[in-house]
Structure 1
Amino acid sequence: MSTTPSRRTILKATGIGLLGLGAAAAVPSATAAATVPTSSRFDLSQPSYERFRSVSLHESHHAMQGMAYDNVNRRLYIAQIRNGSDGDDLCINQLSIEGELTGHMHVNNAGHGVSIGVEPVGSASCIWMESNSSEHSDDGRGTALARFKFVNGGTPSSVKKFLTGSKSITCATDPVYKRLLVRRSEGGHMHYRLFSLADAAAGRFSSPLASFDQPKLGDGSVTFQGYTVLGRYLYTLDGTGHADASDINSYVTAIDMNSGKVVQRSLTKAGKTLVFREPEGMMVYKTVGGHLRLCFGFASRPSMSSSTRYASVYYKDVLI
């Protein structure tokens, strides 16, 4: 997630507050819930394909982070830290699915941007993301979720904030089943809760569709780099940046949200020829023809000594 190996941070669970949008929005304690209807899932063992490669974002010196796609208005959003920021001021880039930069928006005191969501509302795209950063540094993480309309060249206004008093909170959106997945630290563990997007937008967080601790990934010491959700399944991305393709350690993982168990985990070498390839961000994209794709991103650079950062997106599309 960091732009250089020395600044990399492995996300670790700590305690968390449970206050939401006002006292009435407090979520329940971390108990199991399993009411997500069955659905197909992506087969992570299948090949990956390139969506776009080595494009420039608005902020030239920072890696891409979380991403999300508005499948109604056909707009891609990618978060990254702003040039000159202490580490918690973000830029939300707007792109076409082909990787053409079409706009940007600055969000101050937000966090790290590991994962974001987007909700189409008519012709507008409402961004869901962390806010109220815990500190003005590269270690700053959101302590609340924010929802606001994307305005090219602007800053957030008419912002709604939810689950305030959290710690290390992020989210992802399911564009097909219209749900919001929230990831945050609770009781010493990173915990997930799934809500209908309509309930979340109304500040209703008392009845999650699923509630489970993040299961162990790999040997348990992986660098978490993003997640997304489709139907019954959570997908995660982990791994570190590297200069040698033989050192690739980036994995995509599928988790059944009804059981909280890993059902598939697969090494991905997509984009293996990128210079200092680092996994960053996930999303689900639905093509105009209705085909679903599990997308994951990689940050890279023109050369090992360059301060410029590029963004690339690859995908898998076989459902089982």
Structure 2
Amino acid sequence: MDNISRRGLLTGAGAILAAGSLGAPTAVARPVRTDALTPTKRFKMSATTNEFFRSKPLWGPTVMQSFAFDTPNNRLFTGQLRSGTVENSGDLTLSQLSFSGTVLGHMYLTGFGHAVSIGAEAVGGTTYIWTETDADTTNGRGRQIARFPWQNGATLTKDSASLKKWKPVSNGSVFTPAVDQRYGRLGVRYSLSDGMHINVYSLAAARAGDFSTVLESFKQPALTAGVDFQGWTLYGSYAYFWEGEAYPGAPDETKANSKLWCYDINAGKIVDSFLTLAGKSLTYREAEGMAVYGSTDATARLYFGFASGVTGDRRANLFYRNDLV
């Protein structure tokens, strides 16, 4: 990201201050969880790094904030802040890319948020995108989540007819979604007065607007103090987190702080983490976005992204792990 720091707003004690500034009450909503998620395999954080593509311009071209795969239809989408808009407007650009990183299309989303995380869901040959929406102009973050069909070249506002939107947690703020396509779940990350939390729902129920049953609910664990949170995703009974900051200029791996984290939802604890030097030769190299591709363990890949390049010519870079344990 270029202009807005996520530090403090999204983790730790800073999240308390951010939530308070948004008017979140001091009482914390505690959704009732159902049975634990069926245990699954997890991605190994220290596994071999594979490069997907490097130094690809997006539509804009602004910094990639997040990305998502529509696995059944083999489609890739990225979320970005829209070029030329005012700070905290919540105006976004979505790009559709080929798997070689070529731009195939775009959409504009007016007043939606910051695109810390987006999701994609296949319904036949149509891709539905999940994002935040209804941006709070004091911080540029979404106050609800939304679902809508991909429409190349379209511009949506928070009141567009094709948009469905919800506030799953009544006293929450700073919402972002993540879609677990294989296991049919939707994750919703949100801020309360004591920090960031994540609820897990049935994807089928969520797309029908039913958030009454929470499959799991947990507070996001503490990650590295003073390092920006840059993305998250779900796969089975695990949540994954991504953090890191840009190099201050030319490549310098001694300043690298991009780290992958794996959280066991059922056990309620971090079970793996790894400081990665993937893309260490990139100029700027800011961790941005995380998503899973794959419909089986054999095809599953945990992707993590970096922004690179210079101001006015930012580029997207994707790497992945595919070892499950």
Q: Flag whether TM exceeds 0.5 (same fold).
A: yes
Which of 199, 217, 226 in structure 1 is aligned with 2:231?
226
Letter in 2 for 1:8: S
Which of 268, 271, 276 in structure 2 is aligned with 1:263?
271
**Residue 282 (structure 1) aligns with:** 290
Letter in 1 for 2:38: P
Deviation at 1:8, TM superposition (A): 2.5
Q: Distance in 2 between matches of 1:101 and 1:228?
A: 23
* Contact 1:280–1:296 (CA under 8 A) maintained in structure 2: yes
Deviation at 1:161, TM superposition (A): 0.5
**Residue 23 (structure 1) aligns with:** none
Unaligned runs of 5+ in 2: none
Deviation at 1:122, TM superposition (A): 1.2
Q: Distance in 2 between matches of 1:8 and 1:150?
A: 29
Residue aligned with 1:3, SS: coil
Cα deviation 1:28-68 (Å, max 9, x = unaligned): 634566511000000001121100000010012x2101111
- Tell me if 1:76 matches 2:79: no
Q: Which shows bigger deviation, 239-248 or 265-274?
A: 239-248
Q: Distance in 2 between matches of 1:17 and 1:180?
A: 26
Cα deviation 1:229-252 (Å, max 9, x = unaligned): 100000010010013222000000
Deviation at 1:288, TM superposition (A): 9.9
**Residue 158 (structure 1) aligns with:** 162
Equivalences for 1:66-145 in 2 at 5 Å?
66-87=66-87, 88-135=90-137, 139-145=139-145
Letter in 2 for 1:284: V
- Tell me if 1:173 matches 2:179: yes
**Residue 21 (structure 1) aligns with:** none
Unaligned runs of 5+ in 1: 19-26
- Tell me if 1:319 matches 2:316: no
Q: Distance in 2 between matches of 1:167 and 1:55?
A: 33
Aligned residues: 302
Deviation at 1:187, TM superposition (A): 3.2
* Contact 1:28–1:206 (CA under 8 A) maintained in structure 2: no
Deviation at 1:17, TM superposition (A): 8.3
Letter in 2 for 1:125: T
Q: CA RMSD in A?
A: 2.1
Which of 290, 304, 308 in structure 2 is aligned with 1:296?
304
Q: Distance in 2 between matches of 1:174 and 1:288?
A: 12
Q: Which shows bigger deviation, 32-41 or 93-102?
A: 32-41
Q: Distance in 2 between matches of 1:298 and 1:39?
A: 27
Cα deviation 1:147-203 (Å, max 9, x = unaligned): 000100002342110117641100111121111100001232100000110011011
Call closer, same or farther: CA 1:34–1:309 in 2, change over 3 Å. farther
* Contact 2:198–2:218 (CA under 8 A) maintained in structure 1: yes
Residue aligned with 1:199, SS: helix
Q: Distance in 2 between matches of 1:31 and 1:213?
A: 13
**Residue 198 (structure 1) aligns with:** 204
Aligned-pair identity in percent equals: 40
Q: Distance in 2 between matches of 1:120 and 1:241?
A: 33
**Residue 51 (structure 1) aligns with:** 52
Deviation at 1:257, TM superposition (A): 1.1
Q: Tell me the TM-score normalized by structure 1.
A: 0.89
